[in-house]
Amino acid sequence: MTVMSLLGATFIAFGPMFAMFIFTIAREPVKIIVMISGSFFWLLALLLSSLLWYVVVPLREELAFAVVFSVLFQEAFRWAFYKLLRKADDGMQQFGDAGHSLISKNQTGYVAGVGFGVMNGAMTYVNILADNSGPGTVGIHGDPELFLLTSALLTCCFTLLHTFWGVVFFYGMDRKKYHIVGTVVATHMFVSCMTLLNQQNPPLYLASIIPAYCVMLFMCVWSFFVAGGSLQNMKAFLTCKHGGYNVD
């Protein structure tokens, strides 16, 4: 039972992101470099968040304090990564044919978001999986039996959200529409703070999962249209018409 629960939780948490990596990134070296760089920037944000948490001793026990500043650092480093990628556009064009870049502006936002999401999921969920890898039954000692499943669902949600946030954030910065950038930061803060409800006794899992997935669906649709998608493209995709859709 433990092995099945562990594998199921792992596939729920990382299955969608793994599929996105295999089908959209793995075959293109430039995208892999951008993704790994994005993961590194997310780790830098985590490092600064950890340093702040360590230095401010009186607030170490306040989880809300850590969550708020963690979100702010992540978005600050998303902005820094955006600036770095735009500075590197000329260099990436040299790898393309006839002066064309191997990765478009919308694709950089997508791949950077995947990098943020992959590292976010790895750092937040791998330890949980390790703790549940041994023999036993989840919740046998009175702990919430849905903790493992809830964590998997939230990990999946956040990995996808980071991808959508990346697309929308980069679009807002490119168009100088800073209210869009502010919306990304606000939704990130909202979803992250809603997870604090899981610390209640008893945990309010549904109160955190439902809003998180509603925000994820909203950001998914928004990022689709931002990337050049349309209802016609979606219809062509659903009816399997080859060459009938075009997304930047």
End-to-end CA distance of the chain: 44
Predicted pLDDT of residue 126? 83
Q: What is the pLDDT of residues 21-76, one digit of tens each?
A: 999 999 888 899 999 999 999 999 999 998 988 888 777 778 888 899 999 999 99
Q: What is the pLDDT of residues 178-237, one digit of tens each?
A: 999 999 999 999 999 999 998 887 888 899 999 999 999 999 999 998 888 777 877 776
Measure the CA dihedral 116/117/122/127, to 10°: 110
Cα–Cα distance measured from residue 37 to residue 49, given in angstroms and rounded to the nearest whole number? 19
Contact between residue 194 and residue 208 where contact means Cβ atoms under 8 Å apart: yes
